[in-house]
Amino acid sequence: MPDDTPSILPAGTPAPDFALRVTADQVLNLSELRGAPVVLAFYPADWSPVCGDELSVVNAALPLLHERHAQVLAVSVDNVWSHEAFAQAHGLHFPLLSDFEPKGEVSRRYGAYDEVTGESRRALFVIDAAGTIAWSYLSPVALNPGVDGVLDALGALPPAPNTTAQ
């Protein structure tokens, strides 16, 4: 019997590069962040209760993530205008990237796109300074995964070449 459990890219996989909109006139390329770890959080939709909780927890953990020299990015298929309003309403201090057009292209490359709902799955990735996925986790869509796994994964990374150990 085939396993229908969705899978995301595992640790050890080179992180697919992408260029996604942060605002109507600003694009962020993942490759621009090489040299430091990146926390990449895919989430289903702005304005959903679990997503608001999840990203608020990430926002509250920013000091701990920054202590580990990590840049935080969140991705959904919502458009930049929705992201802007959502980030402002929740006081978020990290980029929300729009995987809007072509819809879900980056989410698909990471195995984090749900073809049935047309949204990103709730998936977390820690990408090391060299651009390799060091840790990944697919959360049930109705659960806030928190940041403990992310913090553990960041703590297990060797110091990036341009940083010093804490």
Catalytic entry in 39, 41, 51, 96: 51
Residues 6+ positions from 102 with CB-CB distance below 8 Å: none
The answer to whether residue 143 is catalytic is no
Residues 62 and 94 sit within 8 Å (Cβ to Cβ) = yes
Give CB contacts under 8 A, 24+ apart, made by 61-69: 61/147, 61/150, 61/151, 62/93, 62/94, 64/147, 64/151, 65/39, 65/147, 65/150, 65/151, 65/154, 67/166, 68/37, 68/151, 68/154, 68/155, 68/157, 68/166, 69/36, 69/37, 69/160, 69/163
> Which residues participate in catalysis according to the annotation?
51
